Amino acid sequence: QSALTQPASVSGSPGQSITISCTGTSSDVGNNNHVSWYQQHPGKVPKLMIYDVSNRPSGVSSRFSGSKSGNTASLTISGLQAEDEADYYCNSYTSSNTWVFGGGTKLTVL
C-alpha cells in the first residue's frame, strides 16, 4: 500500500485559514469514512484532531474541521494561531482491512 499524499508544507499568517489535503485512492480515502488527522509537535506524541472525516474528539478546538470529497480528505484550520505550528498527518482505513498514513505536512505560522 502506498502512503497517502500530503503537501510537504503549508503556511499561513495568524488569524488566517489554511487547508491541508490528503489524497488517496478508491481503495482507501475514497472507499470509507474512516479518515483521521493527527497533530504532532516536535518531540511530542501525535494528538488526534479529527476522526471519521469530520468528527472532533472532546477537547479539540472547533477551529479544526475535516471534510472529504472523492479520494481526497482535507483538514482546515481557521483562525490560525502560533500554537498550531506543527506537523499534521492524515490516516485512512483501506479496503484490505489495514491503515495507511500520509507523509505528513509541516505547518508554519508566519
Partner 1 sequence: QLQLQESGPGLVKPSETLSLTCTVSSGSISSNNFQWGWVRQPPGRGLEWIGDVFYTGGTSYNPSLKTRVTISVDKSKDLLSLRLDSVTAADTAVYYCTRRVPNTSLRDSWGQGTLVTVSS
List the one residue out of 23, 28, 10 whose CA is nearest residue 99.
Answer: 28
Q: How far is CA 13 from CA 19, 74, 82, in A?
A: 13, 19, 9
Q: What is the DSSP letter of 48?
A: E
Regarding 51 and contact with partner 1 (CB under 8 A), the answer is: yes
Regarding 26 and contact with partner 1 (CB under 8 A), the answer is: no
Helices and strands counted in the chain (H then E)? 0, 9
Regarding 88 and contact with partner 1 (CB under 8 A), the answer is: no
- Supply the minimum distance, in Å, between the C-beta of residue 60 and partner 1: 11
Nearer to partner 1, 9 or 81 (CB): 9
Regarding 24 and contact with partner 1 (CB under 8 A), the answer is: no
DSSP 3-state of 83: helix
Q: In the complex, which residues of this chain contact partner 1 (CB under 8 A)?
A: 1, 3, 34-36, 38, 40, 45-46, 48, 51-52, 55, 57, 89, 91-93, 96-104
